[in-house]
A and B are shown apart, each in its own frame.
Chain A
Amino acid sequence: MGFVNWFKRHLVVLAGLVTLGYLLLPNIVVTVFSFNKPKGRFNYEWQQFSLDAWKDPCGVADMCGSLSVSLQIAVWATIGATVLGTMIAFALVRYRFRARGAVNSLIFLPMAMPEVVMAASLLTLFLNMGAQLGFWTILIAHIMFCLSFVVTAVKARVMSMDPRLEQAAQDLYAGPLQTFLRVTLPIAAPGIAAGALLAFALSFDDFIITNFNAGSTVTFPMFVWGSAQRGTPVQINVIGTTMFVLAVLFVLLSMAVGNRRNRRKA
């Protein structure tokens, strides 16, 4: 009986732990196998512990090149989508203009559309325009599909913002630029940051749209896809683990900063 009661009382915690395990198990496997020393070309069976891959992460031909391409595209796509998306979000919340409702719904379209369809249409568009497929076409495509997510994230934040705060700033001798930099931007920052993070993750990760519009350029997801058919070097796991650890560190860091600011929304 004691056990049943204990189980009842801790059911929520147990369910939470099981779900967390379900979410993290793949990451653990990736991490463990980054220390493997496989026989043959495929890293699918545990053989023995080794630090070889960690000592030489760029030891596989072309892999670090593709990683660098992916990172560059992700950074530029994030910047482009965040700047444009923030401006669109402010326009949609703050101003009343013709076709505002239509723009509001059109913004969501890229999120709802199957990626494969969008990829194929984009390719058609680029080919018809005679554009050279490569870095730039990938970047344009990424900015395009990241925009909707940034707009959604920033809009939610701007909508909950009291317009009187900006009036108060103006009343206290802040001109339009100062008002924007000192009041509007800092208050909207959490929304903008969330949008930017989302854009970075989406862009770095994207395979389908990229694959259609890449021409001869190879991004990291494309490299992994390609090598999965020929053999998976352990270095892929090393990069995967590094990305995972960096993401966790980033989240922890932002939580620490948030706590230090005493959670302004409490």
Chain B
Amino acid sequence: MTTDNSGDVRLSGIGKTYGSFTAVHPLDLTVPQGSFFALLGASGCGKTTTLRMIAGLEEPSSGTVHLGDQDVTRLPPYKRPVNTVFQSYALFPHLDIFENVAFGLRRRGIKSVKKQVEDMLDLVQLGEQARKKPHQLSGGQQQRVAVARALINHPKVLLLDEPLGALDLKLRRQMQLELKRIQTEVGITFIHVTHDQEEAMTMADTVAVMNAGRVEQLGSPTDLYENPQTTFVANFLGTSNLIEAEVDSRSGDRISLKAGGGKLTLPEARCSASATAGGKILVGVRPEKISLTHADDAGDIPEGRNRISGRIADSSFIGVSTQYVVDSPVCPEFEVYAQNIDRDPRLVPGAEVVLHWNPAHTFGLDAAQDIDAGVETVQPEEGVAA
């Protein structure tokens, strides 16, 4: 099974236009057999269109779709070894759960479906509900029926179109783990479309971040989070503090920068922009990498750390952590998440502080982009389907 590549999905130059509107710019993408792949982006970024082109429900305007070595670009959906879990589940209301799950097998002319359907319903823990109608089940159960109905056909690839969008937060968490478990168990390639960055990062091995019909960046969740290549990715996945800085000098694998009055250091390997002396770049750091020290204790901060001084503008206590917003000359709203281990009582709004972090946690981006790209969608409204 491991050397089998028939579950690879290869998109070459695939694009979709509606009249003068380009929903998906021609893109190349390879999803290897057996992986859990997520297409992440805000609504209208082209992720669902891309998925529907793989399913055959949408005809691409350009490019080809390959499954393994087979070109399926011109095949209708019912001839593709691919199954979809739809956003609204699209369970057949006139059929019971058993018949919904058996639908694909029966259409392929398989006569004895009882054993297979029962096994599949057990896999999704719905063995008791076989004779109920879809509307008699809860949202989470319907979702599992939709997964079972697709999986029973042993597709080469399972496509999931925002499958958890309609569920409440707690149930969604539970189903994320459930889907991940099923994927590990059956070993089928999963392609998952979502607007929820946390969902994508929890479940997928590889995430492609899409924006305005293009793939912005592709990589493992850790890689995307630690090394964003664009401001959109930096802001869309979690929160980033971005500072405009001027390149001062380069020595070895370190780049020295000037920002405001202070100096910052950035490892060259973590800079995706070309850094020439005198040029501008954007320096980023994640809020949880930063330590906060009261200005009176600034002398205790070890040498070699990047520092920025400022004043606490706001703080909110979240329980496990405290989130501070710090007003600094280089960035008006510097976000800092501090673990509540030893709380310094002097760190209240109005206090003068020094922010400092290990230079290795700094990343550099091309300054010629919108610094706020992707920022509006940092906190997508919970439960709202894209």
Binding site for B on A (CB under 8 A): 162, 164-165, 167-175, 178-179, 182-183, 186-187, 261-262, 264-266
Q: Mark B167-201, 1 if CB is under 8 A from A, else 0.
A: 00000000000000000000000000000000000
In the complex, the answer to whether A167 meets B135 with C-beta atoms within 8 Å is no
In the complex, the answer to whether B78 meets A175 with C-beta atoms within 8 Å is yes
CB-CB under 8 A for A164 and B103, given A170-B57, A170-B78 = no
In the complex, the answer to whether A172 meets B94 with C-beta atoms within 8 Å is no
Closest A residue, CB atoms, query B134? A264
Collect the chain A residues with CB atoms within 8 Å of residue B45's CB. Answer: none
Q: Which of A168, A179, A186, A266 contacts B90 (CB 8 A)?
A: A168
In the complex, the answer to whether B136 meets A173 with C-beta atoms within 8 Å is no
Q: Which of A175, A183, A262 contacts B136 (CB 8 A)?
A: A262
Asked if B325 is an interface residue, CB under 8 A from chain A, the answer is no
Q: Whole-angstrom distance between the alpha carbons of A264 and B84 in the complex?
A: 24
Asked if B133 is an interface residue, CB under 8 A from chain A, the answer is yes
Residue among A162, A173, A183, A266 facing the most chain B CB atoms (10 A cut-off): A173
In the complex, the answer to whether B57 meets A187 with C-beta atoms within 8 Å is no
Q: Known contacts A165-B93, A171-B56; can you find 8 more A-B pairs with CB under 8 A?
A: A170-B57, A171-B55, A172-B103, A172-B149, A172-B153, A187-B92, A261-B133, A265-B135
What 3 pairs between A and B have smallest CB-CB spacing?
A172-B104, A168-B90, A173-B107
Q: Whole-angstrom distance between the alpha carbons of A165 and B107 in the complex?
A: 15
Q: Which of B107, B133, B135 contacts A172 (CB 8 A)?
A: B107
Closest B residue, CB atoms, query A187? B94
Q: Whole-angstrom distance between the alpha carbons of A265 and B88 in the complex?
A: 16
Collect the chain B residues with CB atoms within 8 Å of residue A169's CB. Answer: 92, 103
CB-CB under 8 A for A167 and B133, given A172-B104, A187-B94 = no
Chain B, interface size category, equals 20 to 34
Q: Whole-angstrom distance between the alpha carbons of A162 and B136 in the complex?
A: 18
In the complex, the answer to whether B88 meets A162 with C-beta atoms within 8 Å is yes
Collect the chain A residues with CB atoms within 8 Å of residue B57's CB. Answer: 167, 170-171
Q: List 27 A-B contacts (CB under 8 A).
A: A164-B88, A164-B90, A167-B84, A168-B86, A169-B92, A170-B56, A170-B57, A170-B76, A171-B78, A172-B104, A172-B150, A172-B153, A173-B78, A173-B104, A173-B107, A173-B153, A174-B103, A175-B76, A179-B78, A182-B107, A186-B94, A187-B93, A187-B94, A262-B133, A262-B136, A264-B93, A265-B135
Residue among B87, B92, B150 facing the most chain A CB atoms (10 A cut-off): B92
Q: How far is the CB of B91 from chain A (nearest CB, A)?
A: 8
Q: Whole-angstrom distance between the alpha carbons of A264 and B55 in the complex?
A: 29
Q: How far is the CB of B53 from chain A (nearest CB, A)?
A: 13
Closest A residue, CB atoms, query B57? A167
Q: Whole-angstrom distance between the alpha carbons of A245 and B76 in the complex?
A: 50
Closest B residue, CB atoms, query A174? B107
Asked if B68 is an interface residue, CB under 8 A from chain A, the answer is no
Q: Whole-angstrom distance between the alpha carbons of A244 and B213 in the complex?
A: 63
Q: Whole-angstrom distance between the alpha carbons of A77 and B84 in the complex?
A: 42
Closest B residue, CB atoms, query A178? B107
Q: Which of B76, B78, B86, B92 contacts A183 (CB 8 A)?
A: B92
In the complex, the answer to whether A266 meets B78 with C-beta atoms within 8 Å is no
Q: How far is the CB of A191 from chain B (nearest CB, A)?
A: 13
Asked if B343 is an interface residue, CB under 8 A from chain A, the answer is no
In the complex, the answer to whether A167 meets B90 with C-beta atoms within 8 Å is yes
Asked if B77 is an interface residue, CB under 8 A from chain A, the answer is yes
In the complex, the answer to whether B93 meets A167 with C-beta atoms within 8 Å is no
